[in-house]
A = this chain, B = another copy of it.
Amino acid sequence: MENILFILTYIAVSASAISGALEARKNEMDIVGAMTIAFVTAFGGGTIRDLLLGRTPIFWVVDPLFSIVTFFVAFITFYRFNNFPTHLLNVPDAIGLSVFSILGATYAMQLNLSGIVAILMGVITGIFGGVLRDLLCNRVPNVFRHSTELYATCSFIGTGIFILLIWLQINPFIASVVGGFVILSLRLLSVQFKITLPKP
């Protein structure tokens, strides 16, 4: 079980690092920029969550493997991946949204915070890596644009279901799997059918 979570986490981290490094190349950055954007995309959400919850030192400060993998992936991506087909990132990125959201909500519940705050922590963990990436690339965050397919919404709904199941005393492992699966499938369906949120 722990092994599956470990593998899913590093798939998600690698997808974030690749997307960050590609974004950096598009913005005429050098390898320092690419590594930083990759890092921020992969760990920005979890870092903000831990700062808000007071969980310091931050997780990637304590475990150097996160940094090593991210920098390695960013380096390869920056210097070797020409014309990388970005649609290949859709599935691993959705895995990341799913894993990070459920993890974020779990940490909040370990501190006995209210359900709505736990959902919020899940969403923040899931989306703020991309928000910080877009800030550093000097543009309005993609996840906030009305032309973007459902992203935070998937995290919100799936994390909400996860919290509801926990509240109904369902086994936490089953609750995580159900919540995570909802996020993953909602996200992939939204991309497939270009579902967006209603405009004002």
Residues on B with C-beta less than 8 A from A87 are none
For A21, give the chain B residue with the smallest CB separation.
B200
Query: Which one of B28, B36, B62, B144 lies within 8 Å of A29 (CB-CB)?
Result: B144
A136 lies within 8 A of chain B by Cβ:
yes
Q: Are A144 and B30 in contact (CB under 8 A)?
A: yes
Q: Does A78 contact B (CB under 8 A)?
A: yes
Distance of A57 Cα from B138 Cα, bound (Å): 30
* B53→A56 contact, CB < 8 A: yes
Q: Report B-chain residues with C-beta under 8 Å of the C-beta of A145.
A: 28-30, 33
Bound-complex Cα distance A114 to B64 (A): 7
Q: Among B25, B28, B51, B199, point to the contact of A51 (Cβ < 8 A).
A: B51
- The interface residues of chain B lying within 8 Å CB-to-CB of A14 are none
Bound-complex Cα distance A68 to B114 (A): 12
B-side contacts of A174, CB under 8 Å: none
State which of B54, B58, B137 has its C-beta within 8 Å of the C-beta of A140: B137
Contacts of A57 in B (CB 8 A): 52-54, 111, 113
Counting contact residues on chain A (CB < 8 A from B), the size range is 35 or more
Q: Say whether B56 contacts A52, CB under 8 Å.
A: yes
**Smallest CB separation, A90 vs chain B (Å):** 19
14 more A-B contacts (CB under 8 A) besides A29-B145, A33-B143, A64-B117?
A25-B200, A27-B144, A28-B140, A30-B197, A32-B197, A33-B144, A33-B145, A36-B144, A52-B58, A54-B58, A57-B113, A136-B140, A136-B141, A137-B140
- 22 inter-chain pairs at a CB distance below 8 angstroms, sorted by A residue, are A25-B200, A27-B144, A30-B144, A30-B146, A31-B198, A32-B143, A32-B152, A33-B143, A33-B144, A33-B146, A36-B144, A54-B58, A60-B117, A61-B113, A61-B121, A64-B115, A64-B117, A67-B116, A82-B200, A137-B140, A138-B138, A138-B139
Closest 7 CB pairs of A and B: A54-B56, A33-B144, A30-B146, A64-B114, A30-B197, A32-B152, A29-B144
